Structure 1
Amino acid sequence: MTQDVHSGTPVEPDEVIVELERLPQAVKRLSARARRHIANSVSKNTIRGMRADLRVYQRAGGLLPADEFDIANFIADQRALGKKPATLERYLNSLHMWHRYMALPSPVKHMAVRAVMRGIRRSAGIRQKEAPPLLLDDLQRLLDHIDRSTLLGKRDSALFALCFHGAFRRSEVVALYLEDMQWETRGVILGLRRSKTNQEGLHETKPILRAPAQVRYCPVRLLEAWLAASGIQRGAVFRSVGPAGRLGAGRMSDPALYQRLMRHLAAADMADRGFTPHSFRAGFITEAHRQGKSDRAIKRISGHRSQRTFERYIRHTDDFEDHAGDFYPGVEEKPGMWCHPCR
């Protein structure tokens, strides 16, 4: 017998199907109310992504709950179909999450699954693709090509400046509300209702510093210009703007941010750099690190809790930057002073 564990009714083909006979008796005692709270423990985007991955698993013939051999075989088969290691890792994470939320031991952590995945990574021999950092000079070049005489240009300029200076994820920046802003002499403190690492809605803020008057692109001044031009008094800060410059009532969407960035990158002749909205976050962290800011100060803006994850965002654009073998402090470089290249 198969049922949708969330509703207790027969499911449609695109829903997650649970083999009730595979469930331990104790788990069946979990009430619908408890399951609803479990579902609310993570964001809707996370649940949506997890369900999509589970549908891939079940359409391939996988059963839930799964054992380690079900999952090991699924991963191996998906790799044979050409799926990338990063995609397989996402499938494993979704399967792991589902089992944990069902109060079941996760088969994903079993040695058989880990060994299959390790073998796939070794045979692939590639690193996971990372968003290249959009640094401060890149941001200035991008903003140089935006027409700020229009409402749309004012919005996009403020949006991109905040994405960088707040090290925002795109889902966070489009979810900003005017009521959560606290204006200070030195800048503005932005309140986040929820973030990737804060699903409980705990009080979380990002202080955005006002730049000196001589700085061309101050994120706070750009934000003030957008709010003044749009007339927004409450609600979502970043909203849709129609072709005729008409301001929408609803907040801007994640995909719309991506599309606007791609449009402006093309206008600035930067489309071939591989930048994505996540490049703002990586760029701020990399730029701050290069300018000698402490990890603690950077993480106060980025919101990272894991040092390991944080360090992945520090991109080295120059292989010789901060070189451990640089034993020549204070030596002024002159033409022809260095040894000749090896022949």
Structure 2
Amino acid sequence: MSKQSGGLGRYIVQRLLLAVPMVLILLTLVFVLMRVAPGDPVSAAAGGKLSAAQLAEKRHIAGLDKPLLEQYWNYISNVAHLDFGTTFVDHRKVTDLIVDNGGATLSLTIGALIVAILIGLPIGLFSGRFRDSAFDVGARVFSITTYAAPVFVTGLLAQLVFSGGSLPVSDQADQLMSLNVDTTTHIYIVDAMIAGNWDAVNDALLHLVLPSVTLGLLIVGVFIRMIRVNVIQTLQGDYIEAARARGIKESAVVTKHAFRNALVPVITVLGLQVAMLLGGAVLTEKTFNWPGIGLMLIQYINQRDYVAVQGIVTVFALVVVFISMLIDFVNALIDPRVRY
């Protein structure tokens, strides 16, 4: 085994071992926060319609009458078996809820990430290349504004501007058109492609535009600032001066040398941006009535369904950890310095 492959393997093992306490800390925080929330979850979910005996039976079924340590152990054990509980309100398995609604949230998150990359990378590149120019000042103001603007405000403004226009302002797809698309992968666009219904694909893409732009603008400022700073630092490097001295065109120096090296730190922060996207997806889905996990989370919060909220938040936490690990592995592959 080569030294490089050995270093990469050792780094992956270390990262996997570090993920175990990270997951346990996150799960413990979710468990504790749900227990310190005011009010009894069974009484809140039942809406005061059950007798004392019925409430006691519901608490027993949910395991809330057991000692706290036993509840914690059962919670950790169930999560290890990918069992996130059964909702109080509609008696659905949280796992089934994630499968049924996760495709919509995944589509929205990927669409928002594409929007952020398509807008943030070129603006950051030109902003760093033409430092302190009028374009650079405008790009910095734009990045600060988009980062600070609440996602629901941006969504409401988008709905106001495009209401009655060519872009849909709510839902994932036209309801009548969606009846002709069979659920196979639970990702509507993919299901429409499998069915060969290209009208439905076009309709789904149109419905995706405004929510994706709204959510993507939440993190586009991060990409602009990261690219800008790294391009500026890279252009000051000795190897850039050497490339210029060899007579390489400035455009080639910027695109082939500075821009590529500036992308490495951006990959590092992608994991953090996924966490921000998932948080923003909750409000975006509510604003656009998007049938994803975030919309379901708000509904269960309003219904005080303790098990559903705990299960969905747990899934969000595990997804963030998984994406963070995946980004670390990719970063270690493209940048050997990370391994040592």
Task: Name the TM-score, length of structure 2 as normaliser.
Answer: 0.25
Task: Flag the structure with more relative contact order, 1 or 2, with Cα contacts below 8 A and sequence separation at least 6.
Answer: 2
Task: Name the TM-score, length of structure 1 as normaliser.
Answer: 0.25
Q: Which has the higher strand share?
A: 1
Q: Which has the higher helix share?
A: 2
